[in-house]
Amino acid sequence: MAENIKTRKIMLSGGGSGGPVAPLLVLAEELLKDNSGLEIIFVGTSYGPERKMISTFSEHQKKIKFIPIISGKWRRYFSIYNFLDVFKIIMAFFQSLFILLLEKPNLVISAGGFVSVPLVWAAHFINIPILIHQQDVRPGLANRLMSKMARVITVTFEKSLLDYGAKAVLVGNPTKKIIINENNGALQELREKYHLDKNQAFLFIFGGMTGALGINNLVFKSRDELIKQFQIIHLCGRGKFPHPESKNYSDYQYQVFESLNNNDFLSLISIADLIVSRAGLGSLSDLSVLEKPAIIIPIPDSHQEDNAEMLTQTGAALVLSQKELTPEKFVLEIEKLFVDKARQERMRNNIKKIIKPGAGEKLAGIVWEIINTK
């Protein structure tokens, strides 16, 4: 199909956090493989990680044009910011309308995030086809606000077919896979870059692309015990250092980074002995594809708890409640899992079944079908 799409234009949208961005960038890479003339525009926030994620994602980053727009958010609790953000949403709608009329995309695609809502509404207003990708087990408010406008809703889990009805198509979640091995020298280069000792266990900790202060503080309080057994890389998120002294921590036993480029991030997951992570679908997709044993700490009282419950039911990861964790319990659970190699192997076998493979190719196929339809 791709040979007929050389003059076509696709607009992707998502942001504010890394969750909605990562699958869209995997899709963009898939779409651009055999379509050098295809134009891709990414519409996101001015403050989120999406601009940086695009700039470091792959060799195709220069082919993706980034446009920031105003972003408002509707909170499902009382907040004065809800009243202020109504005006932001209205402004974003008219800003989106202007961008759409100027760029004239053949298709608008969103994987969630409130920045996408006014763009999708504006696209529907001027009859531009819309595709929504649902990652999480529980539909988010942004996707529910956009779903009625969509021509197709692609989903990660079979349960979501019931949530969205006839529009829904099961594809999985597009994820980039990186394999690091000794043969091509990449593993040695990675270890040298991050000062990793191959004779010591490596613990990789992250709370999503924007970080998680709850996990960050827990890790910093636990680090003195953890570094007795592990070399740690802690991805804390921009501006979310757990303690002022962690910003300049010089001991390679415990290294803290605000952000990492996507290839290094996936490569470090690939070689880690154990992972500690939030339960966002982007992170879980990476763990599934790379078959990693992990301790998962979902955001309390959020949709991530539904994702985590699925992992618990399938034995795919060890899920811990942030509300119940102390530094002592955190260290103990990590140490217990690390020595239990049989449980780690069961986790690897179970987590690789969580995410349906080949999602990027399947989603790209749906995109071609939509934009080839007159």
Can you give the pLDDT of all 374 residues of the chain as single tens digits?
444 445 789 999 988 777 789 899 999 999 988 666 789 999 998 888 888 888 876 565 568 999 999 886 655 555 566 667 778 888 999 999 999 999 999 999 999 888 999 999 999 999 999 999 999 888 888 899 999 999 999 999 988 999 898 999 999 999 887 767 666 678 889 999 999 998 999 999 998 766 688 899 999 999 999 999 999 999 998 877 776 665 555 578 999 998 888 889 999 999 999 999 999 888 999 999 999 999 999 999 888 999 999 999 999 999 999 999 999 999 999 999 999 999 999 999 999 998 888 999 999 999 999 988 75
Residues 26 and 93 in one domain: yes
As for how many domains the chain has, the answer is 2
Q: What strands, in cross-sheet order, belong to the sheet with 107-110?
A: 64-68, 39-44, 9-13, 107-110, 130-134, 152-155, 168-170
Residues 140 and 194 in one domain: no
Tokens of 111: 């994987």
Residues 342 and 193 in one domain: yes
Entry pTM:
0.84
Beta bridge partners of 233: 204, 255
Candidates 41, 49, 35, 32; CA nearest to 240 is: 49
How many angstroms separate the CA atoms of 146 and 20, rounded? Answer: 14
Residues 107 and 204 in one domain: no
How many angstroms separate the CA atoms of 55 and 199, rounded? Answer: 34
DSSP letters spanning 122-167 = HHHHTT--EEEEE-SSSPPHHHHHHHTT-SEEEESSTTHHHHHGGG
Residues 105 and 136 in one domain: yes
User: Is there a contact between 69 and 92 (Cβ–Cβ < 8 Å)?
Assistant: yes
User: Is there a contact between 265 and 280 (Cβ–Cβ < 8 Å)?
Assistant: no
Residues 140 and 190 in one domain: no
Residues 210 and 330 in one domain: yes
Tokens of 176: 């980039």
Residues 159 and 237 in one domain: no
Residues 250 and 313 in one domain: yes
CATH number of the domain to which 214 belongs: 3.40.50.2000
Domain that holds residue 109: 2-175+356-372
Residues 58 and 149 in one domain: yes
Residues 192 and 110 in one domain: no
Residues 218 and 171 in one domain: no
Beta bridge partners of 132: 110, 153
